[in-house]
Amino acid sequence: MDTQRGLVHVLVVEDDQDVSALLKRHLSGLGCRVSVADSGEKGLDLAFADPPDMAIVDVLLPGIDGREVIRRLRADERTERCHLVVSSVLDQEDLVELGTDELLAKPFRQASVARLLASYRSSVSQEE
């Protein structure tokens, strides 16, 4: 968490501009600092340069897909503790093995995004 401002930094890795804009609006409205990447490559670059507290990663991305983005984030010491959320319309059972913390099923509602943030904040407060 951005301790200077008390903001949760969320990275959204999503190639659909409408979806990423909606997520950014919801998360910003909930008091988060949001970074957006439209490809797996850009998402990894942003994550390693400014590690997020949470990353919401679409599975179906051009180039490096979401599964590989998640694997790389988990494997790197800069981002291994990042709260990872997979965003997908795919079957949930296929996504459990990716090592994500949560799933954001598409289509989603603002309440679902608020629950994700509350779950993250709860997990952080339990660790302290």
Coil vs helix vs strand at 39: coil
Specify the higher pLDDT residue, 18 or 100.
Answer: 18
According to CATH, what is the number of the domain 9-121?
A: 3.40.50.2300
Q: Annotate 44-82 with DSSP letters as a single string.
A: HHHHHHS--SEEEEESS-SSS-HHHHHHHHHHSTTTTTS
pLDDT attached to residue 95: 62
The predicted-structure confidence for 52-65, as pLDDT tens digits, reads as follows 999 999 999 989 99
89: DSSP letter = S
Element (H, E) at 41: helix 40-49
The predicted-structure confidence for 33-84, as pLDDT tens digits, reads as follows 999 999 999 999 999 999 999 999 999 998 999 999 999 999 999 999 999 9
For the chain, give the number of residues. 128
pTM of the shown model? 0.90
Beta bridge partners of 2: 7
